């Protein structure tokens, strides 16, 4: 497999920034929890009207914890965002997750081919190993595996063999076993991906909650390379109004239940960690999500596409440490989880996201979707997005649902968005970057 050149530069930079020296004082156990596929706006903790997040609410209410509901994920699906979280770099730097069947991509799931994490980029797990940690990864998401490169640096690793295969008791038993077998002579870096909120979504049993009706299981199952028929009829407008409404209600209920289940899994996992004595010593816990989910807004369903709407990018971040937590900003790059994990502090990073064109979305949604990559910038309530050749501006305080975009030609934003897309395209290439590209990367803060 050939690799892009950009990650080599980034790796050199990372080594210079992070260094290999031991930090002073006792080393805390470090816990990194990702609630996969959880939109911030569907958490009670972030103001949602349904009680979907009782355990996260409890965690955020602790004196030693702080939470933000305004983090922006660096991209739109598991692979690129976890690559960012694990390396502290943005998508145009690490190049992970570019789709399509090429010499550089690997098969990660039926019909899913994507470029894995470049093996020359240092990972968080490797950094913790160098600091003398035992590194452990347990993932309910099958994409966080040796095949994707995301588990590099983890001494102990276990991942689901497919979606919805590692959850509930099976996950808890595995977590307990990993904690029982850990090396207590060394501090621990534990990564846990809780995948309950990811499709396929479990049915809601009758009487489960007074705030949710009973619903049947929904998977949107499809043959590789073919659209799911229900989803295709929804997005193409072939579905009648009544059926459309019923599907939207069911979809939203199932997702809320799935988020509630993810939160319940979080509660059980925290209990297991507490029973293992983790919170009696020095510890640092960082929680986030990797991306959101379209639930019918703009006739889109799912994630991993090239759209950077808030329902896709806005995720929670929680920080909990025996040292006490400094308040997290209302608005922050979710990539700050890397800094919180390594140093317990956030560092200043640009607030922006990028997404590769998707090779699956044109199949799901029609050929006009997914041909163009996207980039977005946030500055306060102003959000500027480059997608499908257009540059649009939203005022999120007046228009939180992004329904009234304005054409935008502000020079600074246009220049930066175009440069981001150029850097994204360069990261998809195997050619060495030109002098101009190196200059561009410097101007974006990548070098
Ligand atoms: Zn994910």
- The string of pLDDT tens digits covering residues 266-308 is 999 999 999 999 999 999 999 999 999 999 998 888 898 889 9
CA proximity to 94, closest of 305, 358, 354, 345 = 354
Residue 202 Cα, ligand 1 centroid: separation in angstroms? 17
| Ligand 1 centroid, distance to 279 Cα (angstroms) | 27
How much distance in Å is there from the Cα of 185 to the middle of ligand 1? 33
Residues in the chain: 447
**How much is the pLDDT for 428?**
82
pLDDT at 208 over 60: yes
pLDDT of residue 107: 87
User: How far away, in angstroms, is 424 Cα from ligand 1 center?
Assistant: 20
Distance 291 CA to ligand 1 centre (A): 6
Give the DSSP H/E element, type plus range, for residue 189: strand 188-194
**Is the predicted pLDDT of residue 433 greater than 90, yes or no?**
no
Could you tell me the distance, in angstroms and rounded to a whole number, from the CA of residue 39 to the centre of ligand 1? 11
**Cα torsion angle, 63, 69, 70, 76, sign:** positive
Given a cut of 50, whether residue 368 has pLDDT beyond it is: yes
Lowest mean pLDDT among 84-88, 312-316, 348-352, 436-440: 436-440
Residue labelled with tokens 């160098």: 130
Can you read off the two tokens belonging to residue 173? 């038993």
What is the per-residue pLDDT for 24?
Answer: 54
Q: How far is the CA of 311 from the centre of ligand 1 (A)?
A: 14
Q: Phi and psi at residue 331, in whole multiples of 5°?
A: -125, 130
Q: What is the pLDDT of residue 286?
A: 98
- Which tokens is 72 given? 């922006």
Rounded to the nearest whole angstrom, what is the distance from the C-alpha of residue 334 to the centroid of ligand 1?
14
For residue 314, the CA-to-ligand 1 centroid distance in Å is: 13
| pLDDT tens digit sequence for 9-63 | 444 344 444 444 455 568 999 999 999 999 999 999 999 999 999 999 999 999 9
292 in Cβ contact with 303 (< 8 Å): yes
What number of other Cβ atoms are within 10 A of residue 397's Cβ?
A: 9
Distance 82 CA to ligand 1 centre (A): 8
Please state, in angstroms and rounded to a whole number, the distance separating the CA atoms of residues 379 and 351: 7
The two three-digit tokens of residue 318, written as one number: 């929680």
Which CATH number, 3.40.50.720, 3.40.190.10, 3.40.640.10, 3.40.720.10, labels domain 27-356?
Answer: 3.40.720.10
Q: Of residues 357 and 79, which shows the higher confidence score?
A: 79
Higher pLDDT, 351 or 363: 351
Secondary structure letter of residue 249 according to DSSP: H
Report how far Cα 432 is from the mean position of its chain's Cα atoms. 28
Cα 289 to ligand 1 centre (Å)? 8
CB 348 within 8 Å of CB 284: no
Q: How far is the CA of 115 from the centre of ligand 1 (A)?
A: 16
Exposure b/e, 35-48, CB count within 10 A at least 16 = b: bbbbbbbbbbbbeb
pLDDT of residue 7: 43
For position 358, what pLDDT does the model report? 81
- Contact in structure between 373 and 357 (CB atoms under 8 Å): yes
pLDDT at 225: 74
pLDDT value at residue 222? 77
Per-residue pLDDT averaged across 206-224, rounded? 90
pLDDT band (50, 70, 90) for residue 263:
very high
* Ligand 1 centroid distance, CA of 408 (Å): 31
- Residue 65 bridge partners (DSSP): 320
Q: For residues 401-418, give the mean pLDDT.
A: 92
Lowest mean pLDDT among 154-158, 259-263, 426-430: 426-430
CA of 140 to the centre of ligand 1 (A): 10
Per-residue confidence band for 82, with pLDDT thresholds at 50, 70 and 90: very high
Could you tell me if 308 and 385 are in contact, meaning their C-beta atoms sit under 8 angstroms apart?
Answer: yes
Q: 199 C-alpha vs ligand 1 centroid, how far in Å?
A: 10
Give me the pLDDT at residue 25, please. Answer: 66
The residues facing 318 across adjacent strands are 67, 287
Poorest-confidence range of 171-175, 252-256, 315-319, 420-424? 420-424
In the reported structure, the alpha carbon of residue 290 is separated from the centroid of ligand 1 by a whole-number distance in angstroms of: 5
Categorise residue 164: left if φ over 0, alpha if ψ from -120 to 50, beta otherwise: left
Distance 231 CA to ligand 1 centre (A): 20
**Would you state the pLDDT for residue 14?**
43
| 77 alpha carbon – ligand 1 mean position (Å) | 5
Instruction: Tell how far the Cα of 78 is from the centroid of ligand 1, in angstroms.
Output: 3
Residue 12: predicted pLDDT: 39
Highest-pLDDT range among 99-108, 330-339, 364-373: 330-339
**Can you give the pLDDT at residue 372?**
86
User: Is residue 211 pLDDT above 80, yes or no?
Assistant: yes
Given the structure tokens 């200059």, which residue do they identify? Answer: 439
Q: Name the 3-class secondary structure at 387.
A: strand
């Amino acid at each position: 497999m050939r690799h892009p050149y950009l990650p080599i530069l980034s790796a050199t930079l990372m080594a210079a920034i992070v260094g290999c020296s031991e930090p002073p004082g006792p080393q805390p156990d470090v816990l990194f929890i990702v609630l996969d596929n959880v939109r911030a706006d569907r958490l009670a903790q972030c103001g949602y009207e349904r009680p979907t997040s009782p355990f996260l609410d409890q965690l955020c209410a602790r004196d030693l914890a702080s939470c933000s509901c305004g983090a922006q994920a660096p991209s739109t699906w598991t692979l690129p965002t976890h690559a960012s979280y694990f390396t502290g770099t943005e998508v145009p730097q690490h190049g992970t997750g570019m789709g399509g069947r090429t010499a550089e991509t690997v098969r990660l799931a039926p019909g899913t081919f994507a470029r894995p994490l470049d093996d020359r980029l240092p990972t968080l797990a490797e950094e913790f190993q160098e600091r003398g940690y035992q590194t452990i990864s347990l993932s309910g998401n099958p994409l966080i595996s040796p095949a994707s490169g995301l588990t590099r640096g983890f001494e102990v690793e276990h991942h689901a063999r497919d979606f919805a295969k590692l959850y509930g008791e099976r996950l808890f038993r595995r977590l307990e076993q990993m904690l029982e077998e850990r090396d207590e002579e060394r501090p621990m870096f534990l990564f846990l991906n809780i995948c309950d909120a990811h499709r396929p979504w479990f049915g809601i049993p009758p009487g489960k909650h007074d705030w949710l009706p009973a619903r049947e299981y929904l998977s949107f199952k499809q043959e590789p390379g073919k659209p799911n028929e229900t989803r295709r009829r929804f997005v193409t407008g072939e579905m009648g109004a009544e059926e459309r409404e019923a599907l939207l209600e069911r979809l939203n209920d199932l997702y809320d239940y799935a988020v509630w289940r993810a939160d319940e899994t979080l509660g059980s996992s925290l209990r297991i960690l507490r029973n293992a004595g983790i919170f009696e010593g020095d510890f640092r816990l960082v929680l986030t999500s990797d991306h959101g989910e379209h639930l019918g807004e703009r006739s889109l369903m799912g994630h991993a596409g090239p759209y950077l709407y808030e329902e896709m990018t806005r995720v929670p971040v929680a920080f909990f440490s025996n040292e006490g937590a400094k308040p997290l900003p209302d608005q922050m790059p979710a990539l700050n989880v890397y800094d919180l994990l390594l140093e317990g502090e956030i560092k200043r990073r640009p607030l922006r996201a990028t997404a590769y064109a998707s090779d699956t979305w044109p199949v799901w949604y029609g050929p006009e979707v997914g041909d163009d990559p996207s980039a977005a910038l946030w500055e306060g309530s102003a959000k500027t997005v480059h997608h499908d050749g257009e540059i649009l501006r939203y005022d999120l305080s007046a228009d939180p649902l992004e329904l009234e975009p304005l054409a935008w030609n502000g020079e600074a934003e246009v220049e930066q968005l175009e440069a981001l897309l150029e850097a994204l395209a360069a990261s998809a290439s195997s050619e060495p970057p030109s002098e101009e590209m190196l200059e561009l990367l410097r101007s974006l803060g990548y070098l």
